[in-house]
Amino acid sequence: MEKKLYLGIELGSTRIKSVLIDADCEPVAVGGHNWENRLVGGVWTYTLDDIWQGVQASYKAMATDYEARHGEKLTAIHGMGVSAMMHGYLPLDKQSEPLTEFRTWRNTSTGEASAVLTPLFGINIPLRWSIAHLYQAILNGESHINEISTITTLAGYVHLKLTGENILGVGDASGVFPLDDAGQYHPGNIIDFDTLIADKSYKWKIADILPRVLPAGAVAGQLTEAGAKLLDPNGDLRPGTVFCPPEGDAGTGMVATNSVTAGTGNVSAGTSIFAMLVLKKGLSKLYPEIDIVATPCGKPVAMVHCNNGTSDLNAWVQLFHEAFCSFGERLSMSDAYEKLYHAALEGDADGGGLMAISYLSGEHNTGFEEGRPLFVRTPDSRFTLSNFMRTMLLTSMATLKLGMDILTINEGVAITQLMGHGGLFTTKGVAQKLMAGALNIPVSVMETADEGGAWGIALLAAYVTHSDMALDEFLAKRVFANRAGSIVQPCSDDTKGFDVFMKRFSAALKVERAAVDYFV
């Protein structure tokens, strides 16, 4: 009997990961490929070669791992799904080829468009949403606009090339254009946008160029022969694999942490850092710091998204690793992270008076279109390695804290715990403890936290064969019933120390503004 295997591929900000699971939802092979975005002409992007070489390398590493573990080539996969960084801008022509460079979520040049669309639609339109990018391109008079056949996300683009189907999952679609309560593009906002651009006389209406939206559990196409060759140039993989709808990394993060029911929440911490809270009721008003998106099955979610997470922290760890090695130390990068992160636990609760702002790129929540990573201290700050590392970890959570306070204090959203996943939590117990203190919320991390969204989209691929169940029931009964995790309660000293840190952080934003204005 042929094994039922399900593959999830996620194109994250710094790593493309492939996770293959069995019918019990256990990983049976993994593979990955490291990559980095590029700043080209002021635009954060990845090239087409970056995308496809990375996807192929990740798949090949996974297939090699499968053969090594199981003694056979991987030729047939029962179900598959693609996940990627949410939002951004990827307009395609009639041949499904990009008309511009892929503009990632990290670009914050759409302020003019967002300022028009937010009051027009009556909901917050973040700078990174696809509709903001499209309208900004219209305002800029970009020449490609009239040739658009569709706009999509990175996950939608890869899915389209593998299956020939122009589809998005509900969660990913919710960051392309506003959705209604049924999980489809809001008809009133469709009319609003068409009216807004009516004088342009384009060949298309907005509904013409938006991908079809499908919920979790729906069949979203099959792997074509061309798609199989694109994914596996070696030719071992057979076509015909059934696909689930492509999703954004926020949606797959919710699945990977079993956070899809009202009242649950998770925090994803990597290159960006964001929290997702599934709402029991709507917010009392519009907040520019809060996105309203959706779970993969269409439930409303309050999202606090921060563009800058661990990039600057990772750069410092790499610098210290280089220093260690220059003295002849034989130390792996994982060992460097382990030692340096644990050093942070020995630091003062407030970071010893040190301050860092880790804005490598713009940060919409605090009003920055560009970023300048900086570190500042006073003459009497307690400048130790432990305080430095604690400061770098705390600052990666600081902007998130500003948005979370809106939900917990202004809106009274009750959060019993947050499920953590992503690279920040790889070193066990450190970031988890500091984040629990910073947010004053218990933080739970499961053993599968390292697998992240690639495992989450693999679960959604498996869910297609169990769609007679609700998604939350499938996750509770088939996936998480016997999975272990650890929960850390907030420590009052950590919480008090972080409150002191936040006062300095808020003041230091003026220093960041000066750095952006004058350090060019």
**Helix locations, 282-369, DSSP H:** 311-326, 333-344
SS (H, E, C) 137-180: HHHCCCCCHHHCCEEECHHHHHHHHHHCCCEEEHHHHCCCCCEC
Distance CA 464, CA 231 (A): 21
Query: What is the value of pTM for the model shown?
Result: 0.88
Residue entry with tokens 């140039």: 233
Distance CA 325, CA 328 (A): 5
Distance CA 18, CA 268 (A): 18
According to the model, what pLDDT value does residue 2 have? 66
According to the model, what pLDDT value does residue 329 have? 82
Distance CA 507, CA 160 (A): 46
Torsion angle, CA of 289/296/178/37, rounded to 10 degrees? 60
Helix (H, G, I), strand (E, B), or coil: what is residue 358? coil
What does the radius of gyration of the chain's CA atoms come to, in whole angstroms? Answer: 22
According to the model, what pLDDT value does residue 412 have? 92
Cβ atoms of 31 and 58 closer than 8 Å? yes
According to the model, what pLDDT value does residue 452 have? 75
Of 408, 311, 306, which Cα lies nearest the Cα of 367?
306
Cβ atoms of 432 and 425 closer than 8 Å? yes
Beta carbons within 10 angstroms of residue 75's beta carbon: 12
Distance CA 137, CA 125 (A): 15
* DSSP code for 37: -
Distance CA 288, CA 402 (A): 12
The helix or strand, by DSSP H or E, that contains position 229, with its residue range, turns out to be: helix 225-231
Cβ atoms of 317 and 469 closer than 8 Å? no
> Domains in the chain, start-ordered, CATH in brackets?
87-152+177-210 (3.30.420.40), 258-307+402-488 (3.30.420.40), 311-399+492-518 (no CATH)
According to the model, what pLDDT value does residue 4 have? 94
Non-local CB neighbours of 518 within 8 Å, separated by 6+ positions? none
According to the model, what pLDDT value does residue 190 have? 98
Of 367, 110, 118, 421, which Cα lies nearest the Cα of 257?
421
According to the model, what pLDDT value does residue 353 have? 97
Pairing of strands 247-248, 79-84: parallel
Helix (H, G, I), strand (E, B), or coil: what is residue 6? strand
Kindly write down the DSSP assignment for every residue of 447-485, as one continuous string.
TTTTTHHHHHHHHHHHHGGGTTS-HHHHIIIIISTT--E
Distance CA 249, CA 104 (A): 13
Burial 276-312 (b: 16+ CB within 10 A, else e): bbbbeeebeeebbbbbbbbbbbbbbbbbbbbbbbbbb
Q: How far apart are the first and last CA of the chain?
A: 63
Distance CA 326, CA 204 (A): 59
Of 21, 119, 20, which Cα lies nearest the Cα of 64?
20
Backbone angles phi, psi at 32, to 5 degrees: -155, 165
The residue count of the chain comes to 520
Backbone angles phi, psi at 212, to 5 degrees: -70, 140
Non-local CB neighbours of 43 within 8 Å, separated by 6+ positions? 101, 103, 107, 109
Cβ atoms of 35 and 15 closer than 8 Å? yes
Distance CA 131, CA 273 (A): 22
Residue 496 tokens, joined: 């008090």
Distances, alpha carbon 300 to alpha carbons 295, 306, 307, 317, 364, in Å: 7, 19, 21, 37, 22
- Given a cut of 70, the residues of the chain with pLDDT beneath it are 1-2, 448-451
